[in-house]
Amino acid sequence: MPTLFAATQQSGHEGFFYPGCELTCIGLSLKKTKILITFSGLYRQTRGNTVEITTATRDGATVLSLAGRIDTATAPALELAINKAIEGGNRKILLDFTAVTYISSGGLRVLLATAKKLKQPGDKYALCNLAAEVHKILKLAGFTTIFSIYPSEGEALAGW
């Protein structure tokens, strides 16, 4: 049985965490009535959009394996996971899109914001294992010239 985690007055969004997930409140703004929560595990928006984020360290890089849809409802979860990795001192970030079925402009915004954060010498940021539909969206948005995109995780990490 999932547990209700938040409902904001401003957006009306509700979300659920499944048992075994770790919850940590990282901020509260009373002016905007906005609660931000970072988590690990499966998160489900009530509208049926899901994203699962698994974090691992391989060859000195943080690999975030993504599954599901990255859209306006789920992009904040991805942004929080990436920011948590960067704040933890991880400046080599690889996003594995093996199980991502869709990405919207909300997801594209998170990808671009991450690229802007990782511009220092020695920083690495790449995407790998893009499905044809996701690659098409990135190409139409002009993002294939901005990001390093690899066909596999192994090839991405070998290039670093």
C-alpha distances out from residue 138 to 41, 49, 148, Å = 26, 20, 12
pLDDT of 27 strictly over 60: no
CB atoms within 10 A of CB 150: 19
**13 pLDDT tier (thresholds 50, 70, 90):** very low
Residue 134 structure tokens: 């996701």
pLDDT in tens, 102-135: 999 999 999 999 999 999 999 999 999 999 999 9
Return mean pLDDT, the chain: 79
Output the pLDDT for position 37.
39
Question: Residue 159 has what pLDDT?
Answer: 86
Which among 47, 62, 79 is the end of a domain? 47
Confidence grade of residue 48 (pLDDT, cut at 50, 70, 90): low
**39 and 104 together in one domain:** no
Q: What is the pLDDT of residues 74-102, one digit of tens each?
A: 999 999 999 999 999 999 999 999 999 99
Structurally, how many domains does the chain consist of?
A: 2
Residue 46 has pLDDT above 50, yes or no: no
Question: What mean pLDDT comes out for the span 19-27?
Answer: 41
Give me the domain span that covers residue 1. 1-47
Amino acid at 123: D
Triad 150, 100, 5: Cα angle to 5° = 130
Write down the pTM of the prediction. Answer: 0.71
Residues, the chain = 160
Q: What is the greatest pairwise CA distance in the chain?
A: 47
Same-domain check for residues 62 and 124? yes
Residue 124 has a pLDDT of: 97
Looking at the structure, do residues 106 and 91 belong to the same domain, yes or no?
Answer: yes
Q: Are residues 112 and 40 in the same domain?
A: no
Q: How confident is the model at residue 50 (pLDDT cuts 50, 70, 90)?
A: confident
Q: Are residues 31 and 80 both part of a single domain?
A: no
